[in-house]
Chains A and B, each alone.
Chain A
Amino acid sequence: MEEQPVNFVVFSGTEDKLQALAVMTAGAAALGKQVNIFLQYWGLEAFSKERIDADLGLAPEAGAAGKARVEAAAKAGQAAWAETLRQAKELGEVDIQACSLSMDVLGLEESDLDPLVDGVEGVTAFYLNAGDGQIVFI
């Protein structure tokens, strides 16, 4: 059987979830797997030029203690999520697409997005590229 891609739908736009996305993507790229990423809502907003290097906060379950641990990891030199994704893209086949509906909802133009984003597509194109690979929603 032909190897299927790994597919992520990224809805959330907090630092911890984006870090998880970046780690999963970089690992897959290092193994030679094709990765397709589809950005919706706050996940898409995080990839805007305005937000990509901003502090995007953490998921509510982190709490104060979780926040302190994440900050300590960043201080100890853990790469930022966007940097990890850049390296993953250099290494392997990683395609990052913005959901066209979310672009409309958020009032974003393609020129507002960081160059990490390869283009804008609809959900049908996403499913086509996803093939029979698993789809993970973050």
Chain B
Amino acid sequence: MADVQVDARGLNCPMPIVKTAQAVKAMASGQTVEVLATDAGSVKDFAAWSKTTGNEIVEQTADGGVYRFVMKKK
């Protein structure tokens, strides 16, 4: 179970990333966040965000149009 949950289902780009970045800002280093998103751009956006910010994607799944990411704060 991740430390923080972000439900970004139904939100358009760039809101899933914005909501996630807001949540991560308030987290401590090493804590994890689980994100649910339906925006089709999410997969590439979260990969780019992880690469730029250094917050690692530790789990990633897709199920019926819902993308789930678990990320660990650097």
Interface residues of A (CB under 8 A from B): 23, 26-27, 29-32, 73, 77-79, 84, 87-88, 90-92
Q: Which residues of B in the span 28-63 have a Cβ within 8 Å of any Cβ on A?
A: 48-49, 52-53
Distance from B38 Cβ to chain A, minimum over Cβ atoms (Å): 12
Judge whether B18 and A87 touch: CB under 8 Å: yes
Judge whether B18 and A88 touch: CB under 8 Å: yes
* Interface residue SS majority, chain B: helix
Distance from B35 Cβ to chain A, minimum over Cβ atoms (Å): 12
Given contacts A27-B17, A31-B52, contact A87 B12 (CB under 8 A): no
Q: Which residues of B contact A91 (CB under 8 A)?
A: 18, 21-22, 25
* Interface residue SS majority, chain A: helix
Given contacts A79-B15, A91-B25, 6 further A-B contacts (CB under 8 A): A26-B18, A29-B21, A30-B20, A31-B52, A32-B53, A90-B22
> How many A-B contacts at CB < 8 Å in the complex?
43
In the A-B complex, list the 9 residue pairs whose CB atoms are closest, starting with the nearest: A30-B21, A27-B14, A30-B17, A26-B14, A31-B52, A26-B18, A78-B12, A30-B18, A23-B14
Distance from A56 Cβ to chain B, minimum over Cβ atoms (Å): 19
Distance from B11 Cβ to chain A, minimum over Cβ atoms (Å): 8
Closest to B52 in A: A31
Judge whether A32 and B22 touch: CB under 8 Å: no
CA of A7 to CA of B54 in the docked complex: distance in angstroms? 24
Contact of A77 among B10, B20, B22 (CB under 8 A): B10
CA of A84 to CA of B14 in the docked complex: distance in angstroms? 9
Q: Which residues of B contact A84 (CB under 8 A)?
A: 14-15, 18
CA of A27 to CA of B53 in the docked complex: distance in angstroms? 12
Distance from B13 Cβ to chain A, minimum over Cβ atoms (Å): 7
